[in-house]
Amino acid sequence: MSSNLILKSGIHIAGVPVTCGYPQDHSRPPLTVVFVHGMFGSSKHFEKWMVQTVEAGFNACAIEMPSGKGTSFEDQLSDVETVIREIRVNSKDHSIILVGHASGGLVAQALCSRHEGLVDGLVLVASAAPQGIRQVASFWYHPRYLWASLTGKLFTLLDRHALDYVLNMYCDAEGKELLSEFKPESGRLLRDIAMGVKVGKIYHCKALIVYGAHDRMAPPEAQVELSERYDFDVFEADYGHMIPVEDNGDVFAKIRSMAIGVVCHKRRQLNRAMSGALRK
């Protein structure tokens, strides 16, 4: 890890567990990138991007999404909204980019459609799709997952499903090492997503969809359909589903470029406002 930054885990923002990164010189960066992981994941999967975010001169915040028995989609959405609003309250004129991976991307979509202007930029990475776009891998019909969705109990992916669909870009040893870090997930969350999450239009923020050309969980055709629904820019990367871990820098370059654009836009807005006030 670079010596010019600090990452802190095990802390809370408004009661929500997060891992945060900020420049060691205690400067006041004009922007925070908020990362939201998907099912079975953790904030650890964003560690590389968090380091790169702070090295680029911005704050980073990865939310540890709730995953206990009975956790619902709305529970996860509420935690993300709580963290973002708290950052807004404590940082005047601060910009926020929301990066959601897999089901975390679906949470990000729902949040931005319900709360216009809450974030300044949105990046959907191998995102789960909302109601109306079919994106259900056949293995989800296995009795193990059907039972979990009916009961709401915690469950884990079978090794073969995880290695074939989520970790297909890794050799067996690397894949099993990553798989060992996956945490149990709520069957109720699985049911909520499988039933279809309604998401309206998303306006008033810069947005990008990133997908893996070799992704078997969030296949390219569904991601293209997602980009057409929202009229978002789209970037195809030569990865599988675990883009935050697999990325060699080309995807983060897109996030960094968006962050710089958002900051420049906010500064122009402030300068225009100040000029208008002086003329009065």
Domain-embedded: residue 176: no
Q: Token pair of 223, please? A: 């991601």
- Give the number of other CB atoms < 10 A from CB of residue 68: 12
- Give the number of other CB atoms < 10 A from CB of residue 138: 8
Q: Which of 1-10, 107-116, 149-158, 228-237 has the lowest mean pLDDT?
A: 1-10
Domain-embedded: residue 249: yes
Q: Looking at the 3D structure of the chain, how many domains does it have?
A: 1
This prediction has a pTM of 0.93
Domain-embedded: residue 175: no
Confidence of residue 270 (pLDDT cuts 50, 70, 90): low
Find the domain containing 77 and state its range.
5-133+198-279
Closest CA to 72 of 238, 192, 240, 165: 192
Domain-embedded: residue 182: no
**Rounded to whole angstroms, how far apart are CA atoms 56 and 50?**
10
CATH number at residue 44: 3.40.50.1820
Domain-embedded: residue 161: no
Tell me the pLDDT tens digit for each residue of 64-87: 999 999 999 999 999 999 999 999
Confidence of residue 1 (pLDDT cuts 50, 70, 90): very low
Q: What percent of the chain has pLDDT over 70?
A: 92
Domain-embedded: residue 98: yes
- Mean pLDDT computed over 35-44: 96
Three-class DSSP category at 164: helix
- Give the number of other CB atoms < 10 A from CB of residue 184: 15
pLDDT value, residue 205: 85
pLDDT value, residue 203: 77
Domain-embedded: residue 180: no
- Mean pLDDT computed over 198-207: 88
Confidence of residue 204 (pLDDT cuts 50, 70, 90): confident
Domain-embedded: residue 255: yes
